[in-house]
Chains A and B, each alone.
Chain A
Amino acid sequence: MSRQQIGRVLVVILLGISFWQFSSAALIQGKAWLAQHLLQHAWSSTLARKQPVKPWPWADTWPVARIEVPRLGEDAIVLAGAEGNSLAFAPGHMSQTASPGKQGVSIISAHRDTHFSFLEKVQLNDKVIVTDPNGMKHVYVVTQLQIVDERHFHISQTLSRQVLMLTTCYPFDAINPGGPLRYVVTTEALSRGEFI
């Protein structure tokens, strides 16, 4: 086979790979983006009915909170559970931690490439507003920005204060997923809930 024949074959293969990779990336981003829109409806029904509403019939998760960072114009519906199934669509609340808006340490995680890419831009004293399923708004203030190694990460499971941690993978722009580092934004409740 001649050089240019090899070249042509290569072009085809490489373009194929490129297409495949792009669509994989686009699928992840698209799913995350689209899901938030679909979740809006489930969230409004959650608020109206004051009980968990599944966003689609076969879902194994449901919206548990809405989280906003007004300064950055960020807004997302949080799903129950921080496993792969929910994280693909929305930030997930770690079920073994306190519920958002409640006393104790509550942890919400999301992908660094999608919903929590903005964490990088969060600064100390930024306000984070959490709406719980009862429609109560809780204002949190960012008190700490940390990078932790998840292999050595402890939280107090019995804290009396109202703390919300937003976590995502670190570094934000690492190519390869799966490192041990996490970026943790610690916020503390400024106000007790108010009804909206």
Chain B
Amino acid sequence: MNSQLTNYVVQHRSAVILSRFFETITTFATYLFVVLSGIVLMSCLVMIALQPVQAAEPRQESIQHLSKVRLDESRQGSLLFAQQGEKGVYASAPVVKTDVSMDIAGMLAHVKVEQQFTNSTAQWQEGIYVFPLPDDSAVDRLRMKIGERIIEGKIKEKGKARKHYEKAKREGKKAALVEQQRPNMFTNSVANIGPGESITVTIHYQQRLAYVDGEFSLRFPMIVNPRYIPKSDESLDLAINEVTSQSNEISDFSQYGWGGVLARSETSISMNEYSDVPASPVTIHIKLDAGLPLTSISSPYHKIDTQEKDGKHTIRLAEGVTPGDRDFVLRWRPTLKKAPQAALFSEIRDEEKYALLMFMPPHPQNVRDNISSRELIFIIDTSGSMGGASIRQARQALQLAIKKLTPEDRFNIIQFNSYTSQLYPNAVSANRSNINQALRYINSLNASGGTEMLPALQAALPLGRHADSSKGNHVRQVVFLTDGSVSNEFQLFELIKNRLGDSRLFTIGIGSAPNSHFMNKAARYGRGTYTYIGDPREVEEKIQSLFKRIEAPVLTDIKLEWMSGNRSVYVGEEGLDNSTVQSYPSKYPDLYAGEPLIVSMRLPEKVDGLQIKGMINTHGWQRNLKLTGGAEKAGVAKRWARERIASLLESVHDGADRNTVRNAVIKTALAHHLVSKYTSLVAVDVTPSRPINKKLSTNKVKTPLPAGADKTKMLRLPKTATPARMHFMLALISLVLAMASLIFAFSGIPGRRSVRVR
């Protein structure tokens, strides 16, 4: 009994202690609850203040929304919601079939591109097709063929052409509009294609052939991607010692074939136009009248069938049709003895004389002997965009280049992505051990990160470096391997211009889609050359020829003087009358081995001679050429106009007034019937064909991605959901549960009493 009592007391006491303990805790918890509620409330207020909408949103609705998206997930490729008001239009774009025929003669190619738009739907359609042309193409003719009728396009100021087209579109008339988006990218819009109907639009342009190291080449771009089209790396052309004439055709010329400025049109092109769909089958038919005996004709990326008749060649694609996913390149090589050293073509148009001159400077045999020391700085782009095949190709090219160095050379390697690092603090001698170290270094290079090009160029072109004349003929060359996917181009050009000094910059474009615009221009500001390596198989050959070329420029500080009899003639600029010479390009680049000088000019009657002055090694050099005779060819004037437009647009970068330039470009383009940044070709049918009450839907014709381009390499969008919402939900749930527990605890009071009594 006693023990029982003791037991009871002990139990009771412990119960009391326990209950007191819990009472204290409860009080503490209540305090805590009040404080926490305060904090929670404040947090809520903060949340509400920061995100009024989300906090106010009813949660049920959001969960419904969520499930709806989950349902949709099944039918998503990469696109779930099309643009509002445009539902379903993507499925039924008009199909474009492209037939290309080229007439190549002498230095120029006349190209006719026939695009057949077929509307297989039951609606009236407008087709918008984006297509690339060579950087220097001079588009001068547009024809629209409806049934048997042919409507010729007219050149108009861009805005006016667009208005004209839009008006025809509204009125139900068939119309075609060719606009330049960039110097190498055009759009062709065709309005009011009836259900089941086909409309053929023909575009004509001319292009200058490239001629370097005794080989002619021509590139027909097929990828809409404007950066894919490298301006033929051999940016200059033909050559000779005496002016001869060729019984050939026109010329097409321009190494500054881009305005450098994105030309916007009213056409809005969405990202959807890029697709994996092999769209746009292309056929190619070429008539090649080289006018010279040839040793070879080849096409590196396509199989071709070649037939010869009376020294003229007919070339077709062996497979007939190509899916248009990679550029077409044709190369041909005259026999060594017949390789042209100079050419002159002329044309009289509107009583003005135009001429196109190609001149190959003599190649001194002893260039290398004059060089006392050579320093080669290699910059390799290891940014993320170089990933995959590009970096492998770049590594291969760089290793080849390093192996070609001789122990007298000094070299260094700079790599950059988000950061810049270099192999050696300063250039070192290319002895065996350094070369081996460099090869190992190159092997370890991987592509990742951003493209911070500026510090790399700064490192390669340090400030305060001056030509060290005491060292004799010192040569410093920067070889830059990149895909050029940069956006601060202007800043980079400035840097190159300001810091170049006695260095020379050579750019090598790597991969399937390098930014040829950037690399060409960088090389020009860097007084070097641009080489495009589009295929791993070409690496060896291209590096070889680049190294041969860059040993030293053959001809530098080129100046031209026009002669009338024995007197020199003033070189004219805008605003001067026809008695002055207008020649383009306005500045002449240094010429490297195998590169010719090419000049487009408008000549006054009295001018009959030209004096080319320059420096070969350290000696002055000059040659007089007669500008009489030469083959008369249609197209020379157009080439001059195209060159002039390019030169005018470029002058904006050197501070020329935009409006003056614009007016001058429009004037030139209208006079020579050329599509430009400010002018478009438009063709409009006279009779309306679409009943006004029928709706017209607009479609962008899908353009395929470049072959081998990053089809599989996609961009991972960052994770952008913070767990804030989860935290918030958990907090709310805990709070609710806490309250529930509290209620649960207090509702248990009678039970507690019964325990106590016992």
B-contacting residues of A (Cβ < 8 Å)?
A: 2-8, 10-12, 14-15, 17-26, 28-30, 32-33, 81-83, 87-88, 92, 94-99, 102-107, 109-114, 116-117, 120-121, 124, 143-163, 167-179, 181-182, 184, 186, 188-189, 192
Contact = CB atoms under 8 A, between A and B. Distances in A.
Contact of B79 (A14, A32, A148): A148
B145 to A, nearest CB: 29
Contact of B487 (A104, A150, A154, A167): A104
B84 A148 contact: no
A178 B719 contact: yes
Listed from nearest, the 8 A-B pairs whose CB atoms lie closest are A7-B745, A102-B487, A95-B450, A21-B731, A177-B721, A14-B738, A18-B734, A169-B721
Contacts of B69: 147, 170-171, 181
A25 B485 contact: no
B549 to A, nearest CB: 27
B717 interface: yes
A113 B722 contact: yes
Contact of A22 (B43, B51, B268, B751): B43
B571 interface: no
Given A2-B752, A11-B738, A146-B79, A113 B725 contact: yes
A169 B513 CA distance: 30
Contact of A148 (B46, B65, B78, B185): B78
B727 A4 contact: no
Given A11-B33, A102-B488, A158-B513, A173 B65 contact: yes
Contacts of B185: 160
Contacts of A167: 717-718, 720
A92 B718 contact: yes
A14 B488 contact: no
Contacts of A184: 717
B656 to A, nearest CB: 16
B383 interface: yes
Contacts of B746: 4, 7
Interface of B: 18, 22, 25-26, 29, 32-33, 36, 39-40, 43, 46-47, 50-51, 53-54, 57, 59, 62, 65-66, 69, 72-73, 76-81, 83-84, 181-182, 185, 225-228, 261-262, 264, 268-271, 274, 383-385, 418, 449-451, 485, 487-488, 513, 515, 705, 710-711, 714-732, 734-735, 737-738, 741-742, 744-746, 748-749, 751-752, 755
A115 to B, nearest CB: 9
B488 A99 contact: yes
Contacts of B274: 154, 156
B720 A162 contact: no
A177 to B, nearest CB: 4
A2 B488 contact: no
13 contacts: A10-B738, A15-B735, A26-B47, A94-B715, A96-B384, A98-B485, A114-B50, A121-B53, A156-B705, A158-B226, A159-B225, A170-B69, A174-B66
A36 to B, nearest CB: 11
Nearest to A124: B84
A95 B418 contact: yes
B50 A29 contact: yes
A59 to B, nearest CB: 15
A154 B274 CA distance: 10
B487 to A, nearest CB: 3
Contact of B728 (A25, A32, A160): A25
B81 A145 contact: yes
A129 B450 CA distance: 24
A180 to B, nearest CB: 9
Contacts of A173: 54, 57, 59, 62, 65-66, 725
Contacts of B737: 10, 14
Given A11-B738, A149-B76, A167-B717, A188 B268 contact: yes
Contacts of B745: 3-8, 10-11
B744 A7 contact: yes
Contacts of B749: 4
Contacts of A95: 384, 418, 449-451
A94 B718 contact: yes
A156 B261 CA distance: 19
A175 B737 CA distance: 19
A177 B29 CA distance: 32
Nearest to B711: A154
A161 B271 CA distance: 10
Contacts of A92: 718
Contacts of A23: 39, 43
A104 B487 CA distance: 8
Given A96-B383, A152-B78, A171-B66, A3 B26 contact: no
B51 A113 contact: yes
Contacts of A113: 51, 54, 721-722, 724-725
B575 to A, nearest CB: 27
Given A7-B748, A181-B69, A153 B715 contact: yes
A193 B537 CA distance: 42
A45 B720 CA distance: 28
A3 B751 contact: yes
B223 to A, nearest CB: 9
Contact of B81 (A2, A105, A147, A157): A147
